[in-house]
Amino acid sequence: MSIRKILTYPEKSLAQPSVRVEHIDDEVRTLIEDMGETMFDAPGVGLAAPQIGVNQRIIVYDSHAADPERGENENPVKEFTALINPEIINASGSIVSEGEACLSVEDYSANVKRYEHITVKAQDIDGNDIEFEASGILAVIMQHEIDHLDGILFIDRISALKRTMYKKKISKKKAS
């Protein structure tokens, strides 16, 4: 296992759609272990493969992200769930995800409008087809991570004015 480098905006590959995983082999399993380790090291609650430069449809997330005492626990359990080829097959309701942030978008957070309830279809690490419903924070994490697989960052879902301001800030920072 190893911790991989997380790419950040405006890295071009983050804006590229990822390809489906056809075979879950050792390479994919190692990638998933590395993604889990990299996510907890960052630390973050979710990570998509394109964020570490692999444009394949794989995401991982903190299995306990929605636990109520998660933030207060000094020694949290580090368990993650991996989803392969995840898709949202049903979505309803609307919530504002407050202060949404991303390991690939430095020094920024914003409120983002998201679906409140979703149904996700995917394969697990053993290649079994799975389908489940998610609400609230888990639904937000799924939408955020699946967006990465389509080359979409949360800053693509905020107002054009806010996005422009963020882009200016980043280009200034990179130039200095």
Give the active site residues.
145
* Spatial distance between the Cα atoms of 63 and 80, rounded to a whole number of angstroms: 5
> Residue 167: phi, psi to the nearest 5?
-60, -40
CB of 126 to Ni ion, least distance (A): 26
Nearer to Ni ion, 24 or 105 (CB): 105
Tell me, rounded to whole angstroms, the distance of Cα 169 from its chain centroid: 23
State the Rg of the chain over Cα: 16
Stretch 60-79 residues interacting with Ni ion (CB under 5 A): none
Using CB under 5 A as the binding rule, whether residue 149 contacts Ni ion is answered as no
Query: Under the criterion CB under 5 A, does residue 155 sit at the interface with Ni ion?
Result: no
Indicate the SS3 state at residue 66: coil
- Cβ nearer to Ni ion, comparing 24 with 149: 149
Name, in order, each residue with C-beta under 8 angstroms of 162's C-beta and a sequence gap of 6 or more.
110, 155
User: Which one of 76-84, 98-106, 112-120, 122-130 is the stretch in contact with Ni ion (CB under 5 A)?
Assistant: 98-106
Residue among 14, 32, 54, 102 that touches Ni ion (CB under 5 A): 102
| Stretch in the footprint of Ni ion (CB under 5 A) among 33-41, 96-104, 120-128, 133-141 | 96-104
Cβ 32 vs Cβ 49: under 8 Å: no
Q: Which residues bind Ni ion (CB under 5 A)?
A: 102
